[in-house]
Amino acid sequence: MTNTPANDPYSSRTLMRRLWSGYLKYHKWWMALAMVLMVIEGSTLAILSYMLQPMFDNVFAAGNKQAVWWVGGIIFGLFLVRAITQLAQKTIMTRIAQKTSTAMQVDLLRHLMRLDSVFFQKNPPGALMERVQGDTMAVQQVWGVIISGAGRDTISLVSLLGLALSIDWVWTLVAVIGAPLLVVPVYILQKYIRRKTSHMRQQASLRSTRLDEVFHGINPIKLNLLEQYQLGRFTGIIDNIVTAEVKTAASSAMIPSLIDIITGLGFFGVMVVGGQDIIDGEKTIGQFMSFFSAMALAFQPMRRLGSISGVWQVAAASLERLYRLFDTEPTITSPATPAKPVEDTELVMQDVTFAYDDTPVLNGTTLTAEAGKTTALVGASGAGKSTIFNVLTRLVEPQSGKTTVGGTPINELALNDLRGMFSVVTQDALLFDETIRENILLGRTDVTDEQLKDALDSAHVTDFLDKLPQGLDTPAGPRGSNLSGGQRQRVAIARAIL
């Protein structure tokens, strides 16, 4: 069955509905206020166009000096109102845009951290960073553009066309008679823009991945003289992004350009028809100038409304990528009714089988790690030692077999209870770009100064702490780069002790 707009979970209508229910609706009153301000701003254009008729007929043609003051005063007041409403609504829209996009970033990171470890093996960090940062930022512009179009530009266009109709419906019909010709080209361009934007976002993910790998592996790159090789790969990705950006921009600009052509033809027709009416004395110069200015002022709202479809397709491509991530559910979760935390820490694996895709790692593994004793796993690289730990902590799920802790199957325990029983110090100790204190406490507030000192002494962190410029509050640097390998391991051991 093929997806139609009605059942496609990533159609434009569905994406907008999810965007509204998930984020925009929480700012509906601010949006309503911004909409009111936009309506006021948009309506001033029609009034401004209308005031040109008395300005030409009463002031310039009739020579009424008194009319200069009230006509000029009204025009000045209109510009003053436009300045105030524009400032206020732009401030409100920026607030909505920032709050919604940052909320989406937080929600996406929260969701990603719930996903299985296998997901992160298939999706490199750079690509996920681009999703969290790049795609949410690409969506951000949609708030202001679409809401401004629905408010200010729509009201401006309707009021200006209403004024034009009140002056002469024939002139108005001539001015817009070519509009139906835009329907098919605009539809085709929308599809093309969405496709090219999706490709561009994928290339942006590759760019982030390449940068992440370069910066993480900078020492091997230097030692193996790979600078030019990595630069060449990065340049290739950048070239693809530039090509996609140019094509997307050109396609988006083509929609208002087509509107320009149709509008130009309309103006030409009005000049032919309207000029004859003025020569015959059926219309005044003031009426023509009022009509002409109304149509000229309608030109920009019409172009902006025309470009909305292109802007939306750009945002929709990123929204689809984001919601596909949101719709990815973890397969490893806590049971609905978890068992009580166990006191006994004996670990037992019985006939456990596990494979990464088609690569078998554990083949009927059986072992027992008794509580209170040290159990060492010794084997060649790739023998499955890390995989056993991942199975015990349910970072991965085996295809078959049974694993228990204290006699309770680990899949019957809440994930937090199970993983809270383990402490880990890896060969390549993971430290965050925080102070040494924060790297040890990891946000815990229940650790006393005495407990912290005991952990520091036991892990021999105190042996080098006095040599650091700020002691325990010295920044560890990105991935612990301010510390030596041995120091990083000692900090990780102190963390594990607590």
Same domain, 308 and 443: no
| Structure confidence at residue 1 as a pLDDT band (50, 70, 90) | very low
Q: pLDDT band at residue 151, thresholds of 50, 70 and 90?
A: low
Domain-embedded: residue 332: no
Residue 336 lies in a domain: no
Same domain? For 204 and 237 the reply is: yes
User: pLDDT digit string (tens) for 37-65?
Assistant: 888 887 787 777 777 777 666 666 666 66
Is 130 buried (19+), middle (13-18) or exposed (0-12) by CB count in 10 A?
buried
Shared domain check, 243 and 139? yes
Query: 11, exposed or middle or buried, with CB in 10 Å at 0-12, 13-18, 19+?
Result: middle
Residues 256 and 116 in one domain: yes
Residue 62 sits at φ, ψ, to 5 deg, of: -85, -15
Domain identity same for 361 and 459? no
Which CATH number characterizes residue 105's domain? Answer: 1.20.1560.10
> What are phi and psi for residue 344, nearest 5 degrees?
-75, 135
The range of the structural domain enclosing residue 285 comes to 12-327
Whether 2 is covered by a domain: the verdict is: no
pLDDT in tens, 442-481: 777 888 888 888 888 888 888 888 877 888 888 877 667 6
Asked if 353 and 362 count as a contact pair (C-beta separation under 8 A), the reply is yes
Q: Does some domain include residue 430?
A: no
| Residues 225 and 286 placed together within one structural domain of the fold | yes
pTM above 0.75, yes or no: no
Domain end point (choices 327, 355, 384): 327
Please identify, among 421, 451, 481, the residue that sits at the C-terminal boundary of a domain. 421
Q: Is 58 a domain residue? A: yes
Q: Are 34 and 151 in contact (CB under 8 A)?
A: yes
Instruction: Give the domain CATH number at 389.
Output: 3.40.50.300
Contact (CB, 8 A) for 187 and 251: no
Residues 284 and 61: their CA atoms lie apart, in Å, by 10
Together in a domain, 321 and 194: yes
Q: Are 98 and 214 part of one and the same domain?
A: yes
Q: Helix H segments across 55-135? A: 65-112, 117-122, 125-130
Same-domain pairing of 312 and 459: no
pLDDT over 50 (residue 4): no
Q: Do residues 241 and 365 both lie within one domain?
A: no
The domain tally of the chain equals: 3
Is 186 part of a structural domain of the chain?
A: yes
**Domain end point (choices 388, 421, 454):** 421
Per-residue pLDDT reduced to its tens digit, 156-209: 778 877 877 777 788 778 777 777 777 778 778 777 877 887 787 788 878 887
Do 441 and 405 lie in one domain? The reply is no
